[in-house]
Structures are given as structure tokens and as C-alpha cells.
């Protein structure tokens, strides 16, 4: 049996400074967030409460509590897809962004900078 049946973007354990130093999150919330983040791919994280409970050696009830707390604090979102699949995504600055969306953001940013530069040059008064 594969002990880690879910696909993940996992190269080791790295906890962002803001997460590690957060006084808002318990230690368990921090490591659960990192586990969710490593499993959150293009489609989201589909890991069950049972997976998390087995992985962290805690009860499913505890996992439900930690997930609720992470959601209430704005670190994750929970949605249901296809009437039965729960999807967990990291939220805020830690949210996964697809390469297509990244490229669109970059193009939009360049367009805004170009527009701002053009307007700024026209609007300036020439001083001698």
C-alpha cells in the first residue's frame, strides 16, 4: 500500500516564515496547512480527513476542528465538487495560481505599466 496516495508538489518540508512565526495558528494548524499546501495542485487538494488523521496520528474529529479553524482564519477554502468531492485550497498569499493565470497577471501588469507610463508622459508639464 502506498503510504502517500495523493499527488503532491513535495520537495521537503518548508514552512513560510509568516506561518511558522504566526501566533494565530497552533503547531498542528501550521503542519496541517503545510500538508494541504503540498497536496494543493491545479485541481486542489482532495485528501480526506482519514488521510490527515492517519498522517498526523490524530482523530478525524481533531482534523475537522483544525480544518474549521484554518478556514475561519482565512488560510484555506473548502468547497464541494461533483456533489461529493471535497476540495481544499490554500487561500490568500499562499493560494496556488496556475501558470496560465500567472501569465495573464504578468500581461495585465505590463499593460497597466505601459498605460500608466504613456499617460504620465503626456500629463507632465515641461519645466525649463
> Three-state SS for 76?
strand
**Residue 122 domain-assigned (yes or no):** no
Report yes or no on 64 lying in a domain: yes
Cα 19 from Cα 33, distance rounded (Å): 9
- 94-110 pLDDT, tens per residue? 776 655 666 666 777 77
Where does residue 23 fall: left (phi above 0), alpha (psi -120 to 50 degrees), or beta otherwise?
alpha
Q: Compute the average pLDDT of residues 79-101.
A: 78
**Strand 85-90 vs strand 76-81: parallel, antiparallel, or unpaired?**
antiparallel
pLDDT, tens digit (0-9, with 9 covering 90-100), for 30-79: 999 999 988 888 888 999 999 999 999 999 999 999 999 999 999 999 99
Number of domains in the chain: 1
Look up the domain containing 81 and give its range.
Answer: 17-95
High-pLDDT (> 90) share of the chain, % = 43
pLDDT for 95: 72
Residue 38 lies in a domain: yes
* Rounded Cα distance, 107 and 90, in Å: 24
Residue 73 lies in a domain: yes
48 in a domain, yes or no? yes
Domain annotation covers residue 33? yes
CATH number at residue 36: 1.10.10.10
Amino acid at each position: 500500500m502506498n503510504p502517500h496516495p495523493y499527488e503532491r508538489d513535495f520537495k521537503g518540508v518548508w514552512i513560510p516564515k509568516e506561518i511558522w512565526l504566526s501566533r494565530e495558528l497552533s503547531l498542528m494548524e501550521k503542519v496541517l496547512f503545510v500538508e494541504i499546501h503540498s497536496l494543493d495542485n491545479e485541481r486542489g487538494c482532495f485528501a480526506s480527513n482519514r488521510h490527515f488523521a492517519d498522517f498526523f496520528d490524530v482523530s478525524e474529529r481533531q482534523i475537522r476542528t483544525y480544518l474549521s479553524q484554518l478556514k475561519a482564519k482565512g488560510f484555506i477554502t473548502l468547497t464541494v465538487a461533483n456533489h461529493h468531492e471535497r476540495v481544499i485550497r490554500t487561500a490568500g498569499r499562499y493560494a496556488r495560481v496556475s501558470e496560465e493565470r500567472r501569465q495573464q497577471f504578468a500581461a495585465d501588469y505590463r499593460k497597466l505599466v505601459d498605460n500608466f507610463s504613456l499617460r504620465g508622459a503626456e500629463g507632465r508639464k515641461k519645466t525649463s
